[in-house]
């Protein structure tokens, strides 16, 4: 997340306003809404040895503004991941009767 985005989030979550400057008009609007956000960890993989702040690369000042923080962690299990991948590809396959052996695993963990 770049610094400009962080600044905007701080204003919205702290002061409940959004400043807009377009076509020579500068104004501040009320921001009375809920914020639902999601974030991927740095390097696209959660590192349990790091803190939540370090994994998400969000400053504590922004994280502290959320009422609830939920972590959804995917445990790596090659067998169940391959089963899920086969199921999903069968759902959207043009030829659903195709053999399971025809599905190729593109990457290993």
Burial 79-100 (b: 16+ CB within 10 A, else e): eeeeeeeeeeeeeeeeeeeeee
Q: How far is 96 from 108, CA to CA, in rounded Å?
A: 25
Tell me, yes or no, whether 47 and 88 share the same domain: yes
Range of the domain at 47: 41-97
Domain co-membership, 45 together with 90: yes
Cα–Cα distance measured from residue 87 to residue 80, given in angstroms and rounded to the nearest whole number: 10
Query: Is residue 6 a part of any domain in this protein?
Result: yes
What does the pLDDT profile of the chain (109 residues) look like in tens digits? 677 777 777 788 778 888 888 888 999 888 877 777 788 888 888 888 988 888 888 777 788 888 888 888 888 899 999 999 999 998 888 765 555 555 555 555 5
Instruction: Count CA within 13 A, CB hemisphere, residue 69.
Output: 11
The set of residues, in sequence order, having a beta carbon less than 8 Å from that of 84 and lying 6+ positions away, is none
Count structural domains, the chain: 2
Q: What is the pLDDT of residue 82?
A: 93
Q: Is residue 103 part of a domain?
A: no
């Amino acid at each position: 997340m770049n610094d400009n985005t962080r600044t905007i989030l701080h204003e919205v979550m702290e002061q409940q306003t959004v400043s807009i400057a377009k076509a020579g008009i500068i104004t501040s609007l009320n921001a009375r809404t809920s914020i639902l956000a999601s974030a991927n960890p740095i390097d696209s993989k959660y590192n349990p040895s790091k803190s939540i702040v370090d994994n998400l690369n969000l400053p504590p000042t922004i994280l502290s503004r959320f009422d609830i923080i939920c972590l959804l962690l995917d445990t790596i299990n090659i067998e169940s991941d391959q089963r899920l991948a086969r199921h999903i590809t069968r759902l959207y396959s043009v030829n659903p009767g195709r053999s399971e052996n025809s599905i190729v695993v593109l990457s290993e963990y």
